[in-house]
């Protein structure tokens, strides 16, 4: 099984329910959720004229390869009603792959580690709760160190 860290976010409708439904759909897709952070209320990043987000980091185990994991989370987002809007705009659910094992993976569809994660408090804070000592495979710093450096 492969260990992956995902970040879930929602800022439309019932944010808590949206996160719960996303977790249910991930489990229904055969993904084992081994750790969950607390829920964090966070200010929008990028496009700030929108409601606050609710974010949660999870550690999960999966037999899916990185591209199939991406396709699975995109399918869940679509099933939950996510629409394409402006970049960094409001969304019912957002599921980002932050890490996959400790690999560096780059394709047209997907970049792992997530290329902006080390600049985002809303990613690092919940991730630090569940994986403070995980080492970023490119930056060679722990999640706790990345958060402290932010």
Is 96 marked active-site?
Answer: yes
pTM of the model: 0.94
Is 3 marked active-site?
Answer: no
> Low-confidence residues of the chain, pLDDT below 70?
47, 86-89
What local confidence, expressed as pLDDT, does residue 10 receive? 96
Instruction: Give CATH for domain 2-116.
Output: 3.30.70.560
CA 28 centroid distance within chain: 18
Catalytic residue among 68, 71, 87, 94: 94
What local confidence, expressed as pLDDT, does residue 122 receive? 94
What local confidence, expressed as pLDDT, does residue 88 receive? 63
Catalytic residue among 3, 84, 87, 96: 96
Catalytic residue among 13, 14, 68, 82: 82
| Nearest Cα residue to 59 out of 144, 140, 131, 137 | 131
Inter-residue contact 10 to 94 (CB < 8 Å):
yes
Is 148 marked active-site?
Answer: no
What local confidence, expressed as pLDDT, does residue 29 receive? 97
Catalytic residue among 13, 15, 71, 91: 91
């Amino acid at each position: 099984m492969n260990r992956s860290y995902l970040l879930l976010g929602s800022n439309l409708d019932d944010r808590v329910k949206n996160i719960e439904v996303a977790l249910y759909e991930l489990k229904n897709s055969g993904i084992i959720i081994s750790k969950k952070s607390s829920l964090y209320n966070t200010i929008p990043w990028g496009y700030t004229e929108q409601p606050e987000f609710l974010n949660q980091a999870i550690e999960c185990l999966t037999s899916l390869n990185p591209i199939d994991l991406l396709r699975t989370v995109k399918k869940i987002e679509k099933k939950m009603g996510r629409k394409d809007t402006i970049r960094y705009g409001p969304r019912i659910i957002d599921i980002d792959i932050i890490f996959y094992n400790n690999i560096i993976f780059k394709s047209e569809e997907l970049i792992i580690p997530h290329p902006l994660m080390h600049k985002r408090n809303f990613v690092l804070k919940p991730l630090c709760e569940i994986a403070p000592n995980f080492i970023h495979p490119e930056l060679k710093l722990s999640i706790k160190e990345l958060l402290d450096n932010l």
